[in-house]
């Protein structure tokens, strides 16, 4: 990152704005008390107001009543505003009370502030062990040579056999107290990191959902193209790196065998004597219970993507069906009016069903093509005998310029006829320009050609004479 990228984060990032805020200590204290401390999410407004009132009561008792004079609800609204984005305010289906959750940026600030206190015991051995374990798995699982992988498995089996023999001989090595505390702290840190990641994963899914909804709201193509685009976006969400890793974690957590193994390991870890007096033991033994609500909340966000896209599509289908029914009703009204006063002569013609009969012998026989001899000798022409004036006398009708003329007139009115447009922008290229306007009207979904009415257009030739043309009425409408 360079200077400009860092300066942009300083000006726009929600976490940085929290650190710069005047009431940052109050906000971070409240976030710890309501969300990260008890490890809670999706709290109702009244519950959060009660927690914030308790925090404000203690601060006002020590700092004075004028220290934080605003009500708790005002602080919540301020922290959830678009200018802050420290809290996410939303409504749960079926409830009128708004709910709040900590954003990923605000949680990063809370964790960073917690890390500033320092730690009496820093886990180093467990981190090194984890690094070696991950590095070994990365290298071994990426090896393509069968001989190398077999040799590594053989080495692991020899080590396991040696360890089993030492246990049979009575040499059982037990992890010491500092080592157990080291691994416990590393386990707790990884569990908190994982819970923190869920907020960021959910935020990324909501960002993808917002992009898809914006595309649906501004779509101007056909329904089939819209569905194809939505399915592609849904596939992109599922096949993205974020989606694949989250789905892998969900499948791992939902496996009955792995879940039973995890619960058994946590139960056995709680019985380790060296960890009996650790304050963080209870939080670690129940970490799988904290994962499930967080993962379920993220899964609910993913399900909400499909529900919202379906709702938006239903709205579009309803509007299209309403338009179709209006057209059908207008056709029926016209038919009823024609029934009462039918026109004279032939009113409508319908082609009778028929079959085109082509006899086999009516087809001509195959005739081989004749070879044509072409004299490819190039004759050099004399430039003095060529009149190039005809090449420069041609002209080109710029349809983009004509479209700009139409848009300029429609900027002040909902619709305009071609006569009104040519009155504002006179014809300069004669009939060719009129034909170009015709082509624009046939290609635009917002233009109508009315053959029942006519309009007269006029233009002036270079010699001063005037030409006129009577054409069908063309009406251009402003795009919706």
Instruction: Determine the pLDDT at residue 332.
Output: 81
Q: How far apart are CA 28 and CA 15, in angstroms?
A: 11
Domain boundaries, the chain: 3-115, 177-336, 393-477
Instruction: Determine the pLDDT at residue 196.
Output: 65
Buried b (16+ CB within 10 A) or exposed e, 365-385: eeeeeeeeeeeeeeeeeeeee
Q: How far apart are CA 301 and CA 159, in angstroms?
A: 46
Instruction: Quick: pLDDT tens for 286-333.
Output: 666 666 666 666 666 666 666 666 666 666 667 777 878 888 888 888
Is pLDDT above 80 for 402? yes
Instruction: Determine the pLDDT at residue 126.
Output: 57
Nearest alpha-carbon partner for 41 in 88, 76, 86 = 88
Percent pLDDT > 70 in the chain is 71
Is pLDDT above 80 for 378? no
Buried b (16+ CB within 10 A) or exposed e, 186-218: bbbeebbeebbbbbbbbbbbbebbeebeeebee
Q: 3-115 sits in which CATH class? A: mainly alpha
Contact (CB, 8 A) for 454 and 470: yes
Helices (H), 341-417: 389-392, 399-410
Contact (CB, 8 A) for 198 and 295: yes
Is pLDDT above 70 for 279? no
Summarize the confidence of residues 456-475 as an average pLDDT. 87
Nearest alpha-carbon partner for 85 in 12, 193, 192 = 12
Helix axes 177-217, 241-254, angle to 10 degrees: 130
Q: Give the residue with greater pLDDT, 178 vs 405.
A: 405
Q: How far apart are CA 181 and CA 280, in angstroms?
A: 10
Instruction: Determine the pLDDT at residue 30.
Output: 92
Instruction: Determine the pLDDT at residue 29.
Output: 92
Grouping H, G, I as helix, E, B as strand and the rest as coil, residue 178 is: helix
- DSSP 8-state code for residue 121: S
Contact (CB, 8 A) for 33 and 47: no
Report the half-sphere exposure of 405 (CA within 13 A, side-chain side).
Answer: 21
Q: Over the chain, what is the mean pLDDT? A: 78
CA 260 to centroid of chain Cα atoms: 36
Q: Give the residue with greater pLDDT, 441 vs 382.
A: 441
Grouping H, G, I as helix, E, B as strand and the rest as coil, residue 88 is: strand
Instruction: Quick: pLDDT tens for 201-218.
Output: 677 777 777 777 777 667
Grouping H, G, I as helix, E, B as strand and the rest as coil, residue 175 is: coil
Instruction: Quick: pLDDT tens for 106-164.
Output: 888 888 888 787 655 455 555 666 666 767 777 777 778 888 888 888 888 888 888 88
Instruction: Determine the pLDDT at residue 132.
Output: 65
Judged on CB neighbours under 10 Å (0-12, 13-18, 19+), 341 is: exposed
Instruction: Determine the pLDDT at residue 87.
Output: 92
Instruction: Determine the pLDDT at residue 105.
Output: 86
| Contact partners, residue 452, CB within 8 Å, separation at least 6 | 473
**414 token code pair:** 């909902």
Is pLDDT above 60 for 406? yes
Contact (CB, 8 A) for 456 and 422: no
Pairing of strands 87-91, 415-417: unpaired
Confidence of residue 397 (pLDDT cuts 50, 70, 90): confident
CA 3 to centroid of chain Cα atoms: 29
pTM higher than 0.75 for the full model?
no
Q: How far apart are CA 374 and CA 353, in angstroms?
A: 49
Instruction: Determine the pLDDT at residue 382.
Output: 63
- DSSP 8-state code for residue 34: I
Q: How far apart are CA 393 and CA 13, in angstroms?
A: 61
């Amino acid at each position: 990152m360079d200077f400009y990228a860092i300066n942009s984060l300083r000006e726009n990032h929600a976490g940085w704005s929290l650190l710069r805020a005047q009431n940052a200590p109050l906000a971070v204290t409240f976030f710890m008390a309501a969300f990260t401390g008890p490890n809670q999410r999706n709290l109702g407004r009244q519950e959060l107001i009660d927690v914030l009132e308790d925090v404000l009561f203690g601060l006002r008792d020590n700092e004075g009543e004028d220290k934080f004079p605003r009500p708790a609800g005002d602080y919540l609204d301020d922290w959830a505003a678009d200018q802050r984005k420290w809290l996410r305010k939303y409504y749960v289906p079926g409830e009128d009370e708004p709910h709040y959750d900590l954003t990923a940026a605000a949680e990063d600030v809370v964790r960073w502030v917690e890390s500033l206190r320092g730690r009496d015991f820093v886990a180093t051995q467990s981190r090194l062990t984890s690094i070696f374990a991950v590095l070994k798995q990365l290298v071994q699982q990426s090896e393509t040579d069968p001989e190398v992988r077999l040799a590594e498995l053989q080495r692991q089996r020899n080590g396991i056999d040696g360890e089993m023999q030492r246990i049979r001989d009575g040499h059982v090595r037990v992890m010491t107290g500092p080592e157990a505390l080291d691994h416990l702290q590393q386990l707790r840190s990884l569990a908190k990191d994982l819970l923190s990641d869920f907020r960021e994963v959910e935020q990324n899914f909501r960002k993808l959902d917002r992009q898809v909804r914006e595309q649906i709201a501004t779509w101007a193509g056909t329904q089939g193209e819209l569905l194809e685009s939505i399915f592609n976006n849904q596939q992109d969400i599922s096949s993205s790196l974020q989606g694949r890793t989250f789905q892998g974690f969900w499948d791992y957590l939902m496996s009955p065998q792995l879940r039973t193994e995890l619960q058994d390991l946590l139960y056995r870890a709680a019985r380790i004597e060296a960890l009996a007096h650790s304050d963080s033991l209870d939080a670690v033994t129940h970490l799988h219970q904290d994962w499930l609500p967080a993962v379920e909340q993220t899964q609910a966000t993913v399900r909400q993507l499909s529900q919202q896209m379906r709702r938006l599509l239903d709205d579009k289908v309803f509007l299209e069906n309403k338009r179709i029914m209006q057209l059908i009703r207008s056709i029926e009204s016209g038919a009823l009016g024609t029934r009462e006063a039918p026109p004279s002569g032939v009113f409508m013609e319908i082609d009778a069903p028929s079959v085109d009969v082509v006899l086999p012998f009516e087809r001509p026989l195959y005739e081989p093509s004749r070879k044509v001899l072409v004299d490819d000798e190039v004759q050099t022409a004399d430039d003095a005998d060529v009149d190039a004036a005809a090449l420069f006398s041609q002209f080109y009708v710029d349809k983009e310029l004509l479209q700009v003329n139409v848009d300029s007139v429609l900027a002040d009115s909902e619709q305009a006829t071609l006569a009104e447009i040519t009155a504002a922008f006179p014809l300069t290229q004669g009939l060719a320009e009129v034909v170009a306007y015709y082509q624009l009207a046939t290609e635009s979904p917002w233009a109508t050609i009315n053959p029942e009415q006519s309009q007269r257009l006029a233009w002036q030739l270079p010699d001063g004479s005037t030409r006129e043309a009577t054409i069908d009425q063309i009406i251009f409408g402003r795009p919706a």
